[in-house]
Structure 1
Amino acid sequence: MTADEQALKEIASLREMLASAPRPVGWDNRRARLDEVGTFWPVADDIAYESVECGAVSGEWSIAPGSDPAKVLLYFHGGGYCSGSIKSHRRLVTEAGRNAGMRTLAIDYRRAPEHPFPAQHEDALSAWSFLIRQGIEPKHIALGGDSAGGNLALSLVNRLQEAGKPLPACAWLVSPWTDLTMSGSSLAVKEAIDPIIHAAYLEELASAYVPAAMDRSDPLISPLFLNFNGFPPILIQVGSAEALLSDATRLAEAVGMADVDVRLEVWPHMIHAWPVWNAGLEDGRKALVSAAAFINSVMR
């Protein structure tokens, strides 16, 4: 079996699992479903993790055997700002830390609609400030995030830069949701093959997250429109079968136009945030290996 055939076989099994129950209705049901599918494969037995209060926001430390506790991957989970949790992304975060050989800190930021913008941004800054108070040097911190978490990671870099503070070593973004105006062409082109993300669903998420008076093209909401001058190196990973493909490719272009080191990986056949299911997807595991190599190449 070729690598391409193996990828197709594995992604078909994942699609079957995701389609095994009707799409949930209501925030509580959606959150429960994402936690359910995110934990389909458990965390490895050798991972040590513990809850921690990071100032105003809760988080979770994790570390694999042999990892360097002085280096940290600060991770923001996806879920459209309305769902997702430390639990749903624990396997992704802990295996990312294992591959990169460093501790991870996953953040339980507040979710919309109960807590609309800018609550999530405030929580991200609280988590960053917590790490600095712990004596972790910014050059030893990598930011990570998938989907809305990728949006949040970019926004945190921008906020630190505008405050004149030292920036993290790099940012690793998986399937980032960068344009809440929903102007990307892949939203229509990939609508029929993306099992998770659809334009109507994104509109519902954006309406819950963004205050009605705010313009969704504001860079604080849609970091695709940020000024990326001076940003640290960025790795963007996206699947070819996802509706947010254009959010990733346009982001790579915008970052590159600002003369920032940016690397774009488009993974054939992969769906939104596929490394979440790395235990069952070889391409999920390979994506984490690639991310680790990127992080370690820029973190000295």
Structure 2
Amino acid sequence: MSKAQRDAVNAAIREAAKSLVAATIDERRALFETRARPDDTRGLTVVETTLGGRPALEIADETRDAGMLLYLHGGGYVVGSHRTGARLAAELVRRTGLRAWSLDYRLAPEHRIPAAAQDSVAAYRELLERGADPARIVIAGDSAGGHLTVGTLLLARDAGLPMPAAAVVFSPMSDLAMTGASLTTKEGIDPLFTRADIEFFAAQQLGEDGADTPIASPGRVGDLRGLPPFLIQTGSYEVLLSDSVLLAGRLAEADVDVTLEVVGGVPHVFPDLFGQLDEADAALDRAAAFLAARLDAAVGQLL
């Protein structure tokens, strides 16, 4: 673990975050899209497609066939797209041999909760309707996409759909009522977000039912029984740290297999810093191993 690397990336993120202070939503969206770069998917097959009626990028290593990954991008439900989600999706493809779909779900404030979860459930349903074995499907997401991963599973379960083999979430939101202590204790330590930033994102996405619903705050009020095994990875510098801890505890209370990894001194969605931060590459390797093991276990139960 390199303190010099951690200090460098945290300083760079802190400086870049200054450009967002007075930015409009349209400006934030345009800036976030610049994160999608051609080399994110180098060496992989990438196809523009649709899934569940929404745009998606299908990303694959055609020499391997380990299963399927539905990837849900971050961005506070306000920014981001299937193109920005392709970056982490592609790294998981490289490490696992999974065929991934990075989904472009509807964004807030134009489309509030539960629109995004409806889109992702439709995408998951289409994979099943194509004949995919749920034991060969996994789901993952970062930040808001981590929150959406839980919401997707709750809606899918309640609709009677079979659960996928596993879920991986990076720095997920889990309580839009914002009750977590880290929103205060990590203020000024988190190089990217402040409590006010999270309040902004929450306000954009909350619907008429507010924050006290399972879809809005799955880590606080959701019934998480019957969900697949989870891996949660987060950094100790995050104002959203408490959301990961809360979600992990509630999953455990619901008898769901859950692994929580908190890496010291790293920022929000730190696995996205692969190639710059040793901890990021190591975390993605662990995530890939977790997914591979769960896919093997799920398929083995069917034999």
Offset of residue 195 of structure 1:
2.2
Q: Distance in 1 between matches of 2:8 and 2:94?
A: 23
Q: 1:136-188, CA deviations, whole angstroms, 9 ceiling, x for partnerless residues?
A: 11111111011111111111111121122210101101000000000000001
> How much is the aligned-residue C-alpha RMSD, in angstroms?
1.9
**Mapping 1:1-300, distance limit 5 Å:** 3-12=1-10, 14-15=12-13, 18-19=16-17, 21=19, 23-36=21-34, 38-39=35-36, 42-64=39-61, 66-68=63-65, 71-211=67-207, 213-224=208-219, 225-300=221-296
- In the TM superposition, residue 65 of structure 1 has moved relative to its aligned partner by 5.2
- Residues 89 and 276 of structure 1 are in contact (CA less than 8 Å); yes or no, is this contact kept in structure 2? no
Say which is worse superposed, 13-22 or 255-264, in terms of deviation. Answer: 13-22
Deviation above 6 Å: which 4+ runs of structure 1?
none
Secondary structure in 2 matching 1:192: coil
1:78 to partner: Cα distance: 0.7
Return the letter of the residue paired with 1:235: L
Q: Structure 2 vs 1, CA of residues 275 and 129 (structure 1 numbering), >3 Å: closer, same or farther?
A: same
Distance across 2 between alignment mates of 1:174 and 1:137: 25
- Shift of the 20–184 alpha-carbon distance from structure 1 to 2, 3 Å rule, reads closer
Residue-pair matches, total: 295
Structure 1 residues 22, 258: CA separation in 2 closer, same or farther (over 3 Å shift)? closer
2:200 and 2:283 map into 1 onto residues whose CA distance is: 29
Given that 2:83 and 2:102 are in contact with CA atoms closer than 8 Å, whether structure 1 keeps it comes out as no
For residues 24 and 67 of structure 1, do their structure 2 counterparts lie closer, same or farther at Cα, with a shift above 3 Å needed? farther
Whole-angstrom CA distance in 2 between matches of 1:283 and 1:75: 21
Provide the C-alpha distance between the structure 1 equivalents of 2:271 and 2:19, rounded to a whole number of angstroms: 21
Contact 1:81 1:205 in 2 (8 A): yes
Deviation of 1:110 after TM superposition, in Å, equals: 0.6
Distance 1:54 1:244, change over 3 A: same
Question: Structure 1 length normalisation: TM-score?
Answer: 0.92
Partner Cα separation in structure 2 for residue 19 and residue 252 of structure 1: 28
Give the secondary structure class of the aligned counterpart of 1:89. Answer: helix
SS state at 2:92 partner: helix
Flag structure 1 segments of 5+ consecutive residues without an equivalent.
none
Q: Displacement, 1:17?
A: 6.0
Distance 2:121 2:6 in 1: 39
Structure ranking higher in helix proportion: 2
Query: Any idea what the Cα deviations from partners look like across 1:38-64, whole Å, max 9, x if unmatched?
Result: 347831521211111113211110013
Cα 1:42–1:19 change in 2 (3 A) is: farther
> Offset of 1:275 from its aligned partner?
1.8
Percent of matched pairs sharing the same residue: 35
Measure, in 2, the Cα distance between the counterparts of 1:13 and 1:215: 35
